[in-house]
Amino acid sequence: MSQHDLIVRNAQVVRPGAESPKPLDVAVRDGVFSAIEETIDPSSATTVVDAEGRHLFPGVVDVHQHWGIYNPLSEDAATESRAAAQGGVTTGITYIRTGAYYLNKSGPYRELFPEILSSVEGRAYVDYAFHVAPILREHLDEIPALVGEFGVPSFKIFMFYGSHGLHGRSTDQSSFLMMPEDESYDYAHFEFIMRRLQEVREDERFATDRDVVSLSLHCETAEIMRAYTEIVEKEGRLTGLEAYSASRPPHSEGLAITIASYLAHETELPNINLLHLSSRKAIEAAMLMQSTFPHIDFRREVTIGHLLADFTTGGVGGKVNPPLRSREDVEALWEHLLAGHVSWVTSDHACCREETKFGEPADDVFLAKSGFGGTEYLLSGMVSEGRRRGLSYNRIAELVAASPARRFGLRTKGDLAVGFDADFCLVDDDVEYAVRAEDSFSTQEYSPLEGYQMTARVTDTYLRGAPVLTDGSIVGEPRGAFVRRSGG
């Protein structure tokens, strides 16, 4: 019997935390890394792959995805996981909530979560997990069961949902979120979510999960956005993505970040994730809150879309929440990322097909749906743009794999180490090509990154030691599995 199932030779291995890539051989047995050494005897493996000098990155851990928001969850699990594998992603975490979109139903998670798992089982090409948004009052009482029984330790608040629509105009929250008329999705509810999470963290039954119980927040302020949307539409001076950015101004993010941070301080909940910071004002507010409340373990997320595109890019198809911003904001995000202020980079992948995305007329940004795909460009985009800006490959591996994996309880993911799941990808960084939506495995027919010049491409992706993507093509049957991240 062979000592290893697989050996990858002649690779430049990119380990998070290391100073630089190193020429190493990597071996796999029973789905985990069994050896990472300068030379491993090729005769000790059943299969040997020659990396031909390509860079071997840990499998990307894309912790901000939205399978099932605009398409049935079962469909997105199949198609969008293919796009994930195309981008070197081996584990994705999807946000789930009750109400319009997603499940298009309401009720307790003890009934809905098994339905969610059933919809995805056997269809995904990458491993997957879920974050849960407590929308209803009864969801607060379900948090201990979600952590302990269902293996979900991460939760989300959409701060603007209380009185602002998903796509840019005010809405009735009771119908949008399918809430009883005597309940509200507001700051008080957010506070009670935080208190309940902290109660779970202090409960000895969850002692082993204490560090991975966290709350993520989409930080925008509904009242500011409602007022500015009215101003922008009435003036009619701005159009397209610039108009949408002005209708959800950066200080709306900054204000929401400040409120969320004080609530975390008040409730003593230390594990706070500030999602998809899009502007200089947002990230500066986040840094100010870190210095104001040093006892809070803030993590700051930025998306690949906000790092590569701005409001002059891609037309109405680039509508997303929070909006694509000015080029000055893009540069500010990179400035803070290079300074070490960004905790991880993700995709916020939300496949929205053309017939769903655009209203009538198609160029009215306020009629378009919010969100677009991008998981397939996460690693290639970071390598392409990051290399130009002096960002090391090892730091990229930390930002797209190791750091998010540690935060969200993916204890055997995100690193290249013996005993970890053998999730990895091979990257060719000696290429030049333009992004074309038609080349993506996603069912979305457009991309705001259309024409963007890449200088890196993922060629092969392995999930637990078995190929998912080979020479740019999906191979085999879907093998992705649900990953429990808490509860023993």
Residue type, 361: P
**Buried b or exposed e, range 210-239, using 16+ CB within 10 angstroms:** bebbbbbbbbbbbebbbebbeebeeeeebe
CA distance 291 to 285: 10
Residue 201 within any structural domain of the chain: yes
pLDDT at 171: 53
| pLDDT of the residue at 163 | 67
CA 17 – CA 260 distance, rounded (Å): 31
Length of the chain: 488
Q: What is the DSSP string of 429-440?
A: -S--EE--GGG-
Which residues have C-beta within 8 Å of that of residue 425, sequence separation ≥ 6?
56, 57, 59, 60, 88, 90, 379, 458, 460, 461, 462, 469
Position 1 scores a pLDDT of 67
Q: How large is the greatest C-alpha to C-alpha distance in the chain, in angstroms?
A: 74
The residue type found at 265 is: H
User: Three-class SS string for 386-430?
Assistant: HHHCCCCHHHHHHHHHHHHHHHCCCCCCCCCCCCCECCEEEEECC
**Cβ burial 140-159 (10 Å sphere, 16+ → b, else e):** bebbbebbbebbbbbbbbbb
Cα dihedral sign for 429, 279, 319, 273? positive
- Give the model's pLDDT for residue 314: 79
In a domain, 205, yes or no: yes
> For residue 170, what are the domain limits?
59-413
pLDDT of residue 255: 98
pTM to 2 decimals?
0.97
In a domain, 421, yes or no: no
Rounded to 5°, angle at Cα 474 from 470 and 477:
115
Is residue 453 domain-resident? no
Average pLDDT for runs of 10 along the chain of length 488: 93 97 98 97 97 98 98 98 98 96 94 97 98 98 98 97 66 75 94 98 97 98 94 96 97 98 98 98 98 98 98 93 98 98 98 95 94 98 98 98 98 98 98 98 96 98 98 98 95
Peptide bond into 448 cis (omega under 30): no
Question: Is there a contact between 6 and 46 (Cβ–Cβ < 8 Å)?
Answer: yes
H-helix or E-strand spanning residue 285:
helix 280-292
**3 by DSSP, 3-state: which?**
coil
Nearest one of 70, 40, 32, 38 to 370, comparing CA atoms = 70
The answer to the question of residue 271 being in a domain is yes
Closest CA to 404 of 354, 448, 345: 345
Scored b (16 or more CB within 10 A) or e, 435-472 reads bebeebbbbbebbbbbebebbbbbbbbbbbbebbbeee
Instruction: Judge whether 430 lies within some domain.
Output: no
Instruction: Report how many domains make up the chain.
Output: 1
- Give the model's pLDDT for residue 396: 98
Token pair for residue 6?
């697989």
Q: Which of 12, 59, 54, 28 is nearest to 469 (CA)?
A: 59
Q: Are 130 and 486 in contact (CB under 8 A)?
A: no
Q: Is 196 helix (H, G, I), strand (E, B) or coil?
A: helix
The CA angle 129-135-140, to the nearest 5 degrees, is 85
Q: Which two tokens stand for residue 442?
A: 């996603």
Report yes or no: 129 and 408 within 8 Å, Cβ to Cβ: yes
Buried b or exposed e, range 390-399, using 16+ CB within 10 angstroms: ebebbbbbbb
In a domain, 352, yes or no: yes
The pLDDT of residue 172 is 53
Q: Which burial class, exposed, middle or buried, applies to 201 when counting CB atoms under 10 A from its CB (0-12, 13-18, 19+)?
A: buried
- The verdict on residue 21 lying in a domain is no
pLDDT at residue number 157: 98
CATH number for the domain harbouring residue 401: 3.20.20.140
